Chains A and B, each alone.
Chain A
């Protein structure tokens, strides 16, 4: 299945989907050294974002989160791509700083956790 969205940061990536039902704060909510979500009570608490195609409704939290995404990208702990319902500025800026493909305004309901997803510009291919 192919869905289309709006390109926030262009590029190509492929990875296993990790779907979050809640927004993620990269500053304070994610450990940049491990890529793991550390926010208490978050649906993805303890899960690693590294190399995954992260699917979430939006980002939240301090603008310092953009720098955290950059650092994760440099250390190899960043998501391979980020797909959002509505992209916020913290994630948009972080995706650009870290060269992480990012697409928003798409319906994520067809993307199941663990499915292989390919991102090519505005096009998101779900499944092999």
Chain B
């Protein structure tokens, strides 16, 4: 890989220890993936924040790097293991909270904005089409590539941080044209009316065409009709697709910006009502939910409006958590939505989510409108799950 003088200076340690290590990481990745050069990135989204995942190893490293590491491009942070303000209401132990706050402070010393969200595109970090960025967090990566038309590989936490500190990333993979081209044509011959259905589509695609970039054609509904996908629907597909074995980019004909840019693949698969029903069934463990959760990825403002509207001021009988970014929570609070949801007994948590919070043993079962959420609630948190629409989730909360 070609290195310019600036990159060599960083490798020699002229930018400090953290920048030297970061450049070593970028050079190693460039070597592994045969990149020709490093390219500038406009932003970074950094995962590896929850103390539940990082442990003391990650905490030590971040505090070491924060001594001289400073970001070279606008950089935002993935969710933490707790609401940074209302962690006591979530039942988070003091010792966990202390270490979690140290992690976030280390990132802040490096100049990272403590946005603590998987939807940086609702919190001031929304790349333009064609911009190169270095993002981690698979749902955000897939949304940036597919819906925004920006270009990023699926970085891990350390490689995204390395890119942030150097302002660069090796040019390979989804930074290039060819790996972004669709490889399989998927005709969707049914209506996908909710985010849960779009998540189910991601489950079906991961099963039908694992690892292959899909070009989705919506046959079940006319483009531009009331059934055309909302941004929340595309977020759900972006979250489910890489979770269930798909790639970090998809195209939807007539909807996403690069759908018409590449040749239409001949190879085809079809998704009908049966495939969607099977996907829902595969995420139904048949248990009464103890927890209702919404906000994987972090809920948008329209989703918070819908939750408040569906609750209609009625009291919940089951634990209802809605996760969102601090930025969207503040917008929602100004509209009275947080007060409305919390008056019904729900909790609107920011900075964290059900994937990274230490919930194991707290709840035995959950219902959610997120296919990705089902996957991670089952795994690390050992819950029984059910995928359902937002309406069904709120009904379940109301009992």
The answer to whether B189 has its CB under 8 Å from any CB of chain A is no
Query: Of the candidates A8, A67, A90, A104, which one forms a contact with B57 in the assembled complex, judged by CB atoms under 8 Å apart?
Result: A67
| Interface pair B158/A63, CB less than 8 Å apart | yes
Contact A89 B56, CB 8 Å, known A9-B24, A97-B158: no
Closest Cβ neighbor of B62 among chain A residues: A67
The answer to whether A32 has its CB under 8 Å from any CB of chain B is yes
Contact A8 B157, CB 8 Å, known A67-B58, A70-B57, A71-B57: no
Render B107-143 as a binary contact track against A, CB cut-off 8 A, 1 for contact: 0000000000000000000000000000010000000
The answer to whether A119 has its CB under 8 Å from any CB of chain B is no
Contact A68 B57, CB 8 Å, known A96-B25, A97-B158: yes
Query: Of the candidates A7, A74, A93, A104, which one forms a contact with B158 in the assembled complex, judged by CB atoms under 8 Å apart?
Result: A93
Interface of chain A residues 41 through 97 with chain B (CB within 8 A): 62-64, 66-68, 70-71, 74, 87-90, 92-93, 95-97
Instruction: Provide the main secondary structure of the chain A interface.
Output: helix
Closest Cβ neighbor of A26 among chain B residues: B57
The answer to whether A36 has its CB under 8 Å from any CB of chain B is no
User: Which residues in B have their C-beta under 8 angstroms from that of A90?
Assistant: 156
User: Which residues in A have their C-beta under 8 angstroms from that of B61?
Assistant: 67, 70-71, 97
User: Which residues in A have their C-beta under 8 angstroms from that of B60?
Assistant: 70-71, 74
| Interface pair A64/B58, CB less than 8 Å apart | yes
A102 to chain B, nearest CB (A): 8
User: Which residues in B have their C-beta under 8 angstroms from that of A4?
Assistant: none
The answer to whether A6 has its CB under 8 Å from any CB of chain B is yes
Stretch among B27-35, B278-286, B346-354, B382-390 lining the A interface: B27-35
Stretch among B47-55, B82-90, B249-257, B312-320 lining the A interface: B47-55
A58 to chain B, nearest CB (A): 11
| Interface pair A64/B28, CB less than 8 Å apart | no
The answer to whether B21 has its CB under 8 Å from any CB of chain A is yes
Contact A9 B156, CB 8 Å, known A67-B54, A97-B61: no
The answer to whether B324 has its CB under 8 Å from any CB of chain A is no
The answer to whether B370 has its CB under 8 Å from any CB of chain A is no
Render A15-30 as a binary contact track against B, CB cut-off 8 A, 1 for contact: 0000000000000000
Closest Cβ neighbor of A10 among chain B residues: B24
The answer to whether B159 has its CB under 8 Å from any CB of chain A is yes
Instruction: Give A93 to B28 CA distance when docked, in angstroms.
Output: 8
Query: Of the candidates B32, B54, B159, B162, which one forms a contact with A64 in the assembled complex, judged by CB atoms under 8 Å apart?
Result: B54
User: Which residues in A have their C-beta under 8 angstroms from that of B53?
Assistant: 62, 64
Instruction: Give A40 to B78 CA distance when docked, in angstroms.
Output: 31
Closest Cβ neighbor of A86 among chain B residues: B32
Pairs of residues from A and B, 8 with the lowest C-beta to C-beta distance, nearest first: A63-B156, A71-B57, A67-B58, A67-B57, A92-B28, A96-B24, A93-B158, A66-B158
A64-B55, A66-B158 known; 7 other A-B pairs, CB under 8 Å?
A: A32-B57, A67-B157, A89-B32, A89-B159, A93-B162, A96-B21, A104-B32
